[in-house]
Structure 1
Amino acid sequence: MYTVCLVEDEVDLANLIKTYLEKAGYNVVNFTKGSDAINYIGNKVHIWILDIMLGDDINGYDIIKAIREKDEEVPVIFTSARDQDLDKILGLELGSDDYITKPYSSKELVLRVNKIIKRVYKDESTTLITYEDYSVDLTKRMVFEEGKEVKLTTLEFDLLVLFLKNRDKSFTRDEILDAIWGSDYFGSDRVVDDLVRRLRKKLPKLNLNSIYRYGYRLS
């Protein structure tokens, strides 16, 4: 059973989400205070759902920073009453996988959790891909350069695998959005450019080409 850690200071909303997630078959751990959530880091969690603006001195951004110090891979969904591209970009910079704006349907949140869980924890038929000096372990979701691990976020890893499995194929930004964030993502396609920029920085030997007014291609 997959464990969801929900950090939400609106008690009624948290209870409603918890009920829907449990009906979907998840084990749910719920916190209303950011400090309690940070103290829980290190326990087995398959996905975190973080409200950005919490009632105490610790917000969702503080929590994801603490999570990423311990675990680069565990998926994180941000929730917020603010629908601003800046918040979404900052969340992605910190390693979040999705962003959902309040008010939202609990059913929609469950669907997003299902999609991320399926993507991140699915079995891979091919376990190892090599490119230049990089080795990509699809089962362990780890990347190595000449034997040394390169830390990638979940989205960075998913984007890398998308390109590696489709060498020399050109992708539009919309196609990348659908493949990585899902067809129900609403927001600026700037997140694609930002994710590509971060992947290039971490893996400079990737021959990842920009296609003017179109998208990207790995050669």
Structure 2
Amino acid sequence: MLIGYARVSTPDQKPDHQIDALVRAGVALGNIHVDIASGAKASRPELDLVMKLLRDGDTVKVTRLDRLGRSLLHLVTLGAVLAERGVGLHVVEQGIDTTTAEGRAMFGMLSVLAEYQRELIVANTRDGLAAARARGRVGGRRRRLTVEQAAAAQQLYDAGTHTVAAIAALFDVPRSTVYGHLDPDRIGDRHAGAGRVCHPEGDRLADEGHESFT
């Protein structure tokens, strides 16, 4: 089955162009789901519904990658989940189709870029912390994250590569501070590694040495 997904950022924007493109790509009008949400907003009820409807052998179609994912890391994570479930992804206007060898190779390049982006985030954050310590700012743990750090923490969490405990250690803050900056709709509902879901309780156990997802 072909399932289409479209997104506009505000109610003033119209999804007509996306819907028309998806229909031309073979998606039945009744199988097209539309969200009204900004690119950074985690809550997307129609996308959540699409993920529940998809079955092995289905293909989800979007017009462009930025209509589907909140970030490059989120796109790659979502693509991995779809692949694991045997679901294809066809990005109509950018010529990406993971049901073909060429499309899978192109999406694999995105995975490499996402990993590079993640490593840059980690490296830049560590450099910043080291510079702060070198200037004597070592008294006590910071209770808040900057806007940039909060965004980086959300990306690392969404990607499923770091537990909350690992993110907290990276930014030198308590786990409660990281939880306070994460989108509450995403906590306990992410895929890590081979489709494994991480929960706050799992992060607590990881801290105690029982299990590690990193």
TM-score (norm 2): 0.29
More strand by share: 1
TM-score (norm 1): 0.29
Rg bigger for which structure?
A: 2
More helix by share: 2
